[in-house]
Amino acid sequence: MKPKDEIRSYVWELLQKRKAARFPGAKGRIPNFIGAEACAKQLGEMPYWKAARVLKSNPDSPQRAIRQRALAEGKIVYMAVPRLRSDKPFIELDPKRLKCSPYAASSIKGAAHYGRPVTLDQVKKIDLVVCGSVAVNRQGARVGKGGGYSDLEFALLTEEGKIGPDTPIITSVHPLQIVDEEIPMTEHDIPLSAIVTPTEVFIPTSSFARPKGIYWRLLPPEKLDDIPVLKARGKKAP
């Protein structure tokens, strides 16, 4: 089984080679792939989406069209503050309160400007989780860009009861980001309920156990020191 760093490098290079990534390129980020907007249309036809009233989304560019569609349809969207470095670690985008267009609010800068910073207990119960990915496979395994923040955001919201054991987790990707090989999955990694591409939706053929909360022993010291909501819990990694 290849390590995650090797899988990331392979997909980033492939997207660049095939000219499937937009400016400023794929490497080192959740790739902003050509066709990302079509994924929002595909997702909009799914029962997961139609039933959801509250979403938690990553802030990256390839999922912007999904956030915009959610806001245009009256759904509340939560995005994390960068690196969770605030005692109000999430930004709430409520279409009823926004004084701008869904498009303006759906960007990282727009969300920070127009959204409302909220504490964990102020976050409403999440109906659907949208995450960005560098690579995925058809078994529902996922590789992010390597920072671990998506996993930590999921863990915090799970511990607070905002994300339940059956809350769907979806990602949108370019077909080149779907790999045929096995992807390493640890206990804190988020598994996928569905994978959306510009032309179709994949439902994973097998399921992984999802994280049940924060695994303190796995947290690096810098995250414990730099993230206020972790400090406030008064816990230390063993």
Predicted confidence at residue 148, as pLDDT, reads 85
Q: What percent of the chain has pLDDT over 70?
A: 98
pLDDT tens per residue across span 158-169: 999 999 999 999
Which domains does the chain show, CATH number per domain?
4-232 (3.40.50.10420)
Full-model pTM = 0.94
pLDDT tens per residue across span 91-146: 999 999 999 999 999 999 999 999 999 999 999 999 999 999 999 999 999 999 98
Residue 70 pLDDT class (50, 70, 90 cuts): very high
User: For residues 129 and 233, what is the distance between their CA atoms, to the nearest angstrom?
Assistant: 24
Residue 236 pLDDT class (50, 70, 90 cuts): very low
